[in-house]
């Protein structure tokens, strides 16, 4: 078979949700090279049907349990689910997450479910790009729901909102004061909140505290109002309500013509990121780096300003782009 | 007078440390435009003599008090000091920092001291660039020491290390468990630590805890070993030892030929950042943004891959660079 033919067979199998091919496709996408880009370009016209759900929140809030229960519920409705669990490589949370992965084995055996863990590997910009790429693979393979799950640390929760149609922030009663410390960003990205472990003491107070923070958010009569749902995910309490809220948000996005606006905005950010990454890769390839290193003596010894060197590098780059 | 002549008079006054000119020069640098770049290019050959000290740590650790006391000590040695205090715009710490600024009035009256506050304004990349630019202004004006002071949150402490010859991390006994939560990054950047407020209960235990973390850092016989100094900055205890440790580190850098290596490495990062910023500015100028916006329909309606659009944008950009 010719190369293009092999590729076409691969894509055909991917679109039919052949499990081995889906796994292989995500591995290709994770490696970020020409092959990955080529694949993503080819499948793009097959995507856009899945509903993408982002789940974020502090460590230990129960994000994996919620993902687990929600997946079982979707499966009972005969819907298929692709899950991307982003593991930060932090030594402080690594253990707990590994436990979550093991716990998820229960749904992992289901042929209508595909779970994939991705490491965060430091660079968060890189994370979001690959997460979206992997979601595109699931989307092309026809999964009805794609759940992106990540610990809300640093930049990652903003990345997840950038990749999701519906973004859910999970909190626990004990995160009461962490709510206050939370950057305004987390409040802004949530389409709704889940106060999980609602059987713990102090739950009602934590709920009121969160409500009083949220009430300060401005909205007009047509805009979506972020609700707070309570849940005890470990015994399946509140999961149906979560699924209903997702459905309600999905319908709102379609009815108010927000889905296309949101995805268009996301595409804009994504294109910008791809362009900048490509240019950076070209700028600092072996040649570019050698050139940069060769200029450093001019700075330290001849006192040539970094701004002048920057001009030289850009001039030199023009001919190479 | 012609424009160049006015500029030359301005630079002459700056090099003579005319206070109003120094203040004006930093304002120019903060505004990031052609004028700023032009000024920075011209003064660059006059810089490199000042020793740059970065001071970072959690809120309330006493960074401003240490800066204050250290400055008084340097002044007694007849050295001049330029201070750049980076205020994060966070609503949670804003108040405390304002207090610090007022407290610093004591040294602010001294003609051998120049204090300048800079706002962090969200973008931390932008912060570090402007901080280094402002330090260059002080350097050209002949200040012996430049102190860069910032709260260690997120990326800012890495930025401060990127701008300093000697980086100091200030901790307090109560940050004992925050030490554990601290990203490895903060441990890596410190040339030495100050355990401040050492008269508080639990000081000795906190010191041992920090020591046991540090002992895991690898070093060969020639490498610098990060010490931990204790201090009670409010009553001037330990300040002379801090000044001596700075001197010791400065001498080490010179003797081991590390100063030029460190500054060359910093120049490299700085050049990269300037080049990338300049290219981004050109990419997403009015034309570039309009072009990007015009492509979005192709993504959402015609299902053209963001990767294909990115290629088009780069092709289009070639002719404009």
- pLDDT per residue as tens digits for the range A147-201: 999 876 556 666 788 899 999 999 888 865 555 445 556 777 899 999 999 999 9
Most A CBs within 10 Å, among B300, B311, B312, to test the A interface:
B300
Report yes or no on B300 lying in a domain. Answer: yes
Task: Tell me the torsion sign for CA atoms A83, A88, A89, A90.
Answer: negative
Q: Are residues A204 and A306 in the same domain?
A: no
Report yes or no on A237 lying in a domain. Answer: yes
Chain B residues lying within 8 Å of A135, measured CB to CB: none
Q: Nearest-CA distance from B56 to chain A in Å?
A: 19
pLDDT of residue B307: 94
Weakest-pLDDT range from A227-231, A308-312, A317-321, B82-86: A317-321
CA of A23: how far to CAs of A13, A29, A36, in Å?
11, 10, 13
- Whole-number Å distance between alpha carbons of B85 and B97: 9
Name the pTM for this structure: 0.83
Residue in B with minimal Cα distance to A41: B305
CA of B203: how far to CAs of A317, B181, B208, B231, in Å?
55, 18, 9, 10
Tokens coding A102: 């093991």
* Pairing outcome for strands B51-57 and B227-230: unpaired
Report yes or no on A17 lying in a domain. Answer: no
Report yes or no on A301 lying in a domain. Answer: yes
Q: With 80 as the cut, is the pLDDT of residue A233 above it?
A: yes
Number of residues that this document lists for chain B: 321
Q: If pLDDT is split at 50, 70 and 90, which confidence band does A42 have?
A: very high
Q: Which position has the higher pLDDT, A18 or A210?
A: A18
Tally the domains of chain A.
2
Question: What is the average pLDDT across A264-271?
Answer: 93
pLDDT of residue B96: 42
Interface of A with B in 58-117 (CB under 8 A): 92
Task: Tell me the torsion sign for CA atoms A244, A245, A246, A251.
Answer: positive
- Given the structure tokens 């300049």, which residue do they identify? B278
Most A CBs within 10 Å, among B59, B120, B267, to test the A interface:
B267
* Boundary (domain end) residue, out of A256, A271, A292: A256
Q: Are residues A51 and A176 in the same domain?
A: yes
Q: Are residues B170 and B311 in the same domain?
A: no
- Whole-number Å distance between alpha carbons of B257 and B167: 17
* Boundary (domain end) residue, out of B256, B274, B306: B256
Task: Tell me the torsion sign for CA atoms A20, A23, A27, A33.
Answer: positive
Q: Are residues A162 and A288 in the same domain?
A: no
Report yes or no on A70 lying in a domain. Answer: yes
Report yes or no on B32 lying in a domain. Answer: no
Which residue in the set B275, B297, B304 is minimally distant from A310, CB to CB?
B275
> What does the CA dihedral A4, A9, A11, A12 come to, rounded to 10 degrees?
140
DSSP designation for A220: -
Buried b (16+ CB within 10 A) or exposed e, B27-41: ebbeeeeeebbebbe
Q: Are residues A128 and A250 in the same domain?
A: yes
Provide the ipTM.
0.87
- Given the structure tokens 């081991």, which residue do they identify? B256
Helices (H), A149-285: 156-163, 176-181, 184-189, 203-214, 239-255, 258-283
- Residue B113, strand partner residues: B81
* Boundary (domain end) residue, out of A203, A236, A256: A256
Residue B73's Cβ-side half-sphere holds a number of Cα atoms within 13 Å equal to 18
- Given the structure tokens 């890769």, which residue do they identify? A281
Q: Are residues A211 and A288 in the same domain?
A: no
Q: Are residues B313 and B191 in the same domain?
A: no
Are B192 and B186 in contact by the 8 Å Cβ rule? The answer is: no
Report yes or no on A268 lying in a domain. Answer: no
Q: Are residues A204 and A151 in the same domain?
A: yes
**In angstroms, how far is CA B301 from the centroid of its own chain?**
46
Q: Are residues A114 and A234 in the same domain?
A: yes
Which residue in the set B299, B314, B321 is minimally distant from A264, CB to CB?
B299
Q: For the segment B275-288, what is each residue's pLDDT rounded down to a tens digit? A: 999 999 999 999 99
Q: Are residues B133 and B229 in the same domain?
A: yes
pLDDT of residue B156: 62
Range of the domain at B113: 46-256
Q: Are residues B161 and B289 in the same domain?
A: no
Q: Are residues A290 and A245 in the same domain?
A: no
Report yes or no on A69 lying in a domain. Answer: yes
- pLDDT > 90 fraction of chain A, expressed in percent and rounded: 57
Are B73 and B240 in contact by the 8 Å Cβ rule? The answer is: yes
Q: Which position has the higher pLDDT, B182 or A275?
A: A275
Q: If pLDDT is split at 50, 70 and 90, which confidence band does A89 have?
A: low
Q: Cα–Cα–Cα angle for B229, B231, B232, nearest 5°? A: 170
Interface of A with B in 283-302 (CB under 8 A): 283-284, 292-293, 295-297, 299-300
Residue B54 belongs to domain with CATH number = 3.40.50.300
Q: With 90 as the cut, is the pLDDT of residue A58 above it?
A: no
**In angstroms, how far is CA B79 from the centroid of its own chain?**
21
- How far does chain A reach from its first CA to its final CA, in angstroms? 35
- For the beta carbon of residue A319, count every other beta carbon within 10 angstroms: 7
The residue ranges of chain B whose pLDDT is under 50 are 90-96, 99, 122-125, 180-181
- Whole-number Å distance between alpha carbons of A145 and A132: 14
Starting at the edge strand that comes first in sequence, how are the strands of the sheet with B227-230 ordered? B113-119, B81-87, B145-151, B51-57, B166-171, B192-195, B227-230
A313/B contact by beta carbon, under 8 A: yes
């Amino acid at each position: 078979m010719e190369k293009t033919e092999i590729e076409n067979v691969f894509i055909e199998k991917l679109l039919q949700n052949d499990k081995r091919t889906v796994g292989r496709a995500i591995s290709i996408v994770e490696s970020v090279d020409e092959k990955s880009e080529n694949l993503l370009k080819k499948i793009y016209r097959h995507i856009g049907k899945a509903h993408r759900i982002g789940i974020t929140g502090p460590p230990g809030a129960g994000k994996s349990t919620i993902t687990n229960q929600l997946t079982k519920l979707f499966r009972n409705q005969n819907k298929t689910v692709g899950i991307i669990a982003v593991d930060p490589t932090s030594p402080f949370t690594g253990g707990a997450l590994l436990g979550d992965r093991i716990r998820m084995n229960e749904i992992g055996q289901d042929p209508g479910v595909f779970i994939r863990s991705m490491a965060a590997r430091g660079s968060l910009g890189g994370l979001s790009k690959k997460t979206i790429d992997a979601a595109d693979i699931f989307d092309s393979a026809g999964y009805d729901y794609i759940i992106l799950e990540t610990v809300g640390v640093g930049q990652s929760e903003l990345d997840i909102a950038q990749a999701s149609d519906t973004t859910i922030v999970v909190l626990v009663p004990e995160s009461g004061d962490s709510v206050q410390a939370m950057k305004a960003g987390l409040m802004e990205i949530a389409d709704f909140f889940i106060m999980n472990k609602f059987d713990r003491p102090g739950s009602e107070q934590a709920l009121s505290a969160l409500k009083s923070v949220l009430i300060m958010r401005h909205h007009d009569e047509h805009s979506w109002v972020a609700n707070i749902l309570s849940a005890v995910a470990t015994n399946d309490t509140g999961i149906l309500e979560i699924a209903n809220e997702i459905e309600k948000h999905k319908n709102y996005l379609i009815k108010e013509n927000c889905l296309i606006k949101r995805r268009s905005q996301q595409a804009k950010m994504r294109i910008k990121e791809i362009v900048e990454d490509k240019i950076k890769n070209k700028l600092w390839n072996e040649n570019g780096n050698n050139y940069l290193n060769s200029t450093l003596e001019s700075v330290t010894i001849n006192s040539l300003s970094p701004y002048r060197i920057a001009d030289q590098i850009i001039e030199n780059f023009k001919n190479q782009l």
